[in-house]
Structure formats: structure tokens, C-alpha cells
Structure 1
């Protein structure tokens, strides 16, 4: 026979208090003047009865959903092939679990982005949101600013007043390109991580160009391709470069995920890394050090980015004053065996 699920009234009867008191204690309602002894009685009764508060009832009592939204501005296809995303989720869940929040994930494609953000917030499905890799022209962000929902961007957009957590993509890309220059390469191609509608993509390409200019080399747009997050786009971009007959001895690929496809295209044409083409990536996803050859890449602290974005968001939810609106984390160049001196 199925055991009856305990109710808040059962907890109240066992603890010898009212249902209102049970609700105030278990929902941790701020400002409720309840003695510590009474609180302990309620906690003990709930534990004895294996009582789990109803999520809807909790939301009514606290006026909060106890959920944070992770909004991703990409298609389901891109998400499924993204080796970077599990690190982001790991960093978020590590913090959210401790704070007893839930994580709601929403995918937003470009044609719907303007309405989705504000609809999610107004419907009270979430208390706050983290926006992952926002687009530069994301008009929905203006609506978010107007609605006033606590929001942190993992990335940057044009003229936004929202809080951000990111890395210095320009400097990191410049560092990677300088590594190739230090090995004697002068003809260096570039494959971006994403279309130029994403800020990180533009910054990484600009960092690559700036390193060349500093070395007295005029960047050649014929050696630049824009990928679309996934290995397939890297594969196609690399084939395009090789078919162009443009001369280059090295390539900076601004995403390890994209670099997977680029490496495959290089092998298909009978060329070898690094003997024929040196290759350097960006992100340092888990497979990078185990690839053949191990990939030289820029280490991006993905898990730390996510956890710091989440902690910042929780501070905003609690009404804390956060002085630094734009937090920038350090990157590190991981030197392995995919590049050689010429």
C-alpha cells in the first residue's frame, strides 16, 4: 500500500504549532519573528515525517520561485555539440545546490530573443537570470534592464548597464597569436569561434589582428573565416582556407570545439599538425590535452566563470551592493605539441 505523503498540517500537528508557522519556518521567510526553539521543533517534525514543501506553495509564501534561469542564445544543435557547456553547468550547479535554488535552462533563438527574456521574468518562473554568450545586437537586453530582473551576462554586449563576468578575449587572442609569431610564423590564418554578431568572436579576431599589426604584418581578410560554435563549422572553415590556395603556416582557431573540425579537415588533405600547419586553440576544453597532438590553447576558466556569475547574481538577489559591475577573469596559455618553430 502506497504511503500517504505528509502535509504541512501533519508537520504542524507534530510540532505543536500552526500551519502558518510551519510555512514561515520552512520557507525561510525574512522578517518572521519566530523563536529558535520553535524553529527547531518544526525542522525536527519535518525531518521525522520526510516532509518536502510544495514548490508552488513555497513560491506563494515567499513571492519567489527559488529558480535561476540560464538563458542560452543558441540553437539546440549548437548546444548538443558544445564540449564547453558541461563546465559551465558544473560551475552553476555547484553554487545553486548550496543555496537551495533550482536551475531552469532556456534556449533562445535570434528571432524570439526580444520577447522571451521579459516574458520569463514577468511570469515569475525565475527570480533572476544568467545570459550566456549574448549577441551584440540583442534587443531583449533593453527589456530586461527596464523590467529590473537581476541579470548577469557571461559575455558582453554593446552599451549594456547589466553586470558582466567574462575574460579579456582581445588580450587572450593576442597572446595566442603572439605565441605563433614567436615561433617564426608570419602567414597566420584565423578561424573564429562564432559569427561576428557575438562580442567574443569579434574581440578574438581583433586580438589576432592586433598581434599581427604589432609585428609589422598587415592582416589579410582572405585568411579569416567565421565559424559557428560547432566542429562542423570548423571543418568547413578549414577546408575553405585550404581550398583558397592562400599561403599560411599556422592557424589560430578561437574555440577548441571548432578546432576539432579544423584538425579533421587538415588530416583529410594529407597534412600533419604541427609539421605542415601549426594550430592553436582557445578554451582548453577537457579533450584538448588528450588530442593527437595535444593542443596548445588558451585556458578559459569556464567553471570559475560560471560560479562567480552565479554568486554575483545571488548577491544581487539579496540586495547587496556590488561595486564591480564588470568582473574579468584571467586566462592562461597552455603550451603543448600542436605548434612548431619554423
Structure 2
């Protein structure tokens, strides 16, 4: 059987009576090409008759764009795979990018990996923009350097940076969670962070916890703070640390639901009851939290909206050629379930 040859741009040019350059300009939608409506119509009609579609790689070269957006996560691959919050963020981001026919490249960036390596790789792939999730304080300089060449939006934020960002008020949300435990009568409240304090979100949640204690007239006790690192395993190790104290906490605010999964496992392994022996409060409101035993009280973050707004800001920068001077802060709220002892529903 003889395979039929696919039509080429040369075939379209011959049928339309124009040059191949004109065909490329019309079919790739190049703005300001100064092609008459009549010529454009002839090219489109010839392409339709031949069922011709321009090659994606050629289209990208003509437009000077890759039509790819990089979503860089400031975590190790293992931490990324454990992140139950991430799929909801990606759902919202994908919805925003789909409207512009852009594709998403996921890229973990470990804390011990030089950011310049990532910059070089993304430059080689000619990405049209980058969203960085989970910035660290040390990231500001290289991000602002990168933003001189390519649009950058932060999922999170960096104090003092003019880069557009989408986030929640982590300090206020953590203070709200801690105040709830205080209202329930707890005075010895532990904190397990979501990540090392070099991450801006982790630091701000620690700050909110500390502020709520100070408002209540309670001294800050650093022995009641244990560091998590995005994963259930880190939450388990942190809870072990807190329960080894001679005077362990009666309640623990875990600044990540995923980290709280591991903390809850250790509490059960110690044959302690939640919330009778120790109350737990999480942060993020990932879907699985409502199905734990007991269901986890937590701070709700609008994950899909965070991703959607980050995508919208990045598209605005790409289309307009200048960064939007915008810092979006989305609302949070307490979700009260059984783990904190307040008798909330699922």
C-alpha cells in the first residue's frame, strides 16, 4: 500500500499563488504581517482544501514562543510526590492555561540544588514563563534576575520583591488556628511546621502561632516547636520529638495536613486518644483530611483558586509584555472537625 504524502507549506503556497513566507505568516498568526485580507483568505482556503496543519515546532519558532509554562516546586521529588495539596493547585492552574493553549512543565527544585542549573535548563527549553511554588528567602535575587528575561509569578511571596504573587495571609491563618486551640482551653500548644523556616510560608505560620500565644499572655517555648519537611514521615519524627518532652503539649498545630498525617500515626502508636489526650489542628484542608479518624480540623486554603490566579497573572504578563504590579491574597477559614475536640462535623 502506497502511503499518501502529507501536504506541505509549499503545496499551500502553490495553490494560493503566494510565497511560502506568506503562508507561514498567515497560518502562524504573526501580528503586523501586513497581508491583505484577500491574500489571507486565499491562504486559509488553500490550507483547508489540502487539510494542511503547520508543524508545532515551526509555529513556535515563528512566534518566538514555546507555548510552555514551567511550574517550579521548591522541593525534592519525594516531597513533591507526597504533596496532597499540589493536585488541586495544578487543576486551577491548568484551567487558566488551557484557555490560552499553553502547556505545563513540572519541575522539582531541591533546596540543595543551585537555582542557576534550573535557570539554564528552562532557558534551553525556551519556556514562556515560570510560576515558582514555595519560595525560600534566599530565592529573591535569582528570581528577580530571571524575571528580567522571562515572566515570573510567585505562588507564595517574598517580602520586598516586586514580583507578582498569589498567596494567603499565612500569619493571620496560623494565628487563627492557634487561637482556636486556646479558646478550647489549651495552654501548652505545640507547633509542627510544614517545612524548614527558610521557606517564607513556614516562617509566617510559625510567626502567627507565636503571635497568638503572645496575645494570650503565654511565653514562647522553643521546645514546643518541631520542624516538618512537607512529608508524613517528617510529621511522624516531629511528633515523636514533642511527645518525648517531660511535659508534652496537650494540643498540636501542624502547619500542613500532609505532615499531620504522620503526626497522627505516632499519636495512635503511643495509644493516645485524639482529641481526649492530645488535640490536633492541621493546615491546607486537603480532601483526605475529612476522612481521617478522627476527621482533621484544619485551615482551609483555596488551592484551585491559588493556581488559577497564578496562571491568570502570568498570562497577563505574557500578553501585555510587562509585569502586573499585583499581590493577590485569598481568604482562608477554619474547618472544625473532631480532631481538635470542638465537636465539629465532617
Question: What TM-score, normalized to structure 1?
Answer: 0.91
- Note the C-alpha offset of 1:143: 2.5
Match of 1:31 in 2: 32
Moved more, 57-66 or 279-288: 57-66
Q: Distance in 1 between matches of 2:41 and 2:289?
A: 50
> 2:104 is paired with a residue of what secondary structure?
strand
Gaps of 5+ in 2: none
Structure-2 residue corresponding to 1:196: 197
* 1:221 to 1:319, Cα distance in 2 relative to 1, 3 A: same
Take 1:135 and 1:304, find their aligned partners in 2: how far apart are those partners? 22
Does the 8 A contact of 1:235 with 1:264 survive in 2?
yes
| Paired position in structure 2 for 1:132 | 133
Give the whole-Å Cα distance in 2 for the aligned partners of 1:125 and 1:326: 26
Q: Which residue of 1 aligns with 2:20?
A: 19
Contact preservation (8 Å) 2:178, 2:253 = yes
Question: Following the alignment from structure 1 to structure 2, what is the Cα–Cα distance between the partners of residues 328 and 31?
Answer: 38
Which residue pairs with 2:284 in the alignment?
283
- 1:227 is paired with a residue whose SS is coil
What residue number does 1:72 align with? 73
Q: Secondary structure at the match of 1:104?
A: strand
1:152 corresponding residue in structure 2: 153
TM-superposed deviation, 1:3: 5.2
Moved more, 179-188 or 104-113: 104-113
Alignment length, in residue pairs? 341
Name the residue aligned to 1:141: 143
Pair 1:56 & 2:35 matched: no
The CA distance in 1 between the partners of 2:7 and 2:238, in whole Å, is 59
Higher alpha-carbon deviation: 206-215 or 81-90: 81-90
Equivalent position of 2:170 in the other structure: 169
Q: Which residue of 1 aligns with 2:87?
A: 86
What's the offset of the Cα at 1:91?
Answer: 1.4
Tell me the secondary structure at the aligned position of residue 106 of structure 1. Answer: strand
For normalisation by structure 2, the TM-score amounts to 0.90
Q: Secondary structure at the match of 2:137?
A: coil
1:103-252 equivalences in 2 (<5 Å): 103-120=104-121, 122-123=123-124, 125-138=126-139, 139-145=141-147, 147-252=148-253
Label 1:90 to 1:17 Cα distance change in 2 as closer, same or farther (>3 A).
farther
Instruction: Please say if residues 163 and 323 of structure 2, whose CA atoms lie closer than 8 Å, have aligned partners that are also in contact.
Output: no
Contact conserved, 2:70 with 2:122, CA < 8 A, in 1? no
The answer as to whether partners of 1:64 and 1:124 remain within 8 angstroms in 2 is: no
Which whole-Å CA distance do the structure 2 matches of 1:92 and 1:51 have between them? 32
Distance 1:234 1:337, change over 3 A: same
Instruction: Indicate the SS of the match to 1:222.
Output: helix
Asked if residue 272 in structure 1 is aligned to residue 300 in structure 2, the reply is no
Change (3 A) 1:257 1:44: farther
Shift of 1:188: 0.8
Q: 1:23 to 1:297 in 2, by over 3 A?
A: same
Report deviation, 1:57. Answer: 1.1
- Tell me the alpha carbon deviations over residues 4-52 of structure 1, each in whole angstroms, 9 at most, x when there is no partner: 4443334445656543333223322122334556556655665665544
Q: 1:48 to 1:103 in 2, by over 3 A?
A: farther
Q: Indicate how the Cα distance of structure 1 residues 48 and 337 shifts in structure 2: closer, same or farther if over 3 A, else same.
A: farther
Structure 1: 5+ residue runs without aligned partners?
none
Structure 2 CA distance for aligned equivalents of residues 190 and 125 of structure 1: 42
Deviations 1:164-205 (A, max 9, x none): 111100000011111111111111111000011100000001
Shift of 1:118: 3.5
CA separation of 1:101 and 1:190: change in aligned 2, threshold 3 A: same
SS at match of 2:249: coil
Deviations 1:218-261 (Å, cap 9, x if unpaired)? 12111101100011000111111112233321110000110111
CA distance in 2, matches of 1:300, 1:217: 27
Distance 1:284 1:40 in 2: 53
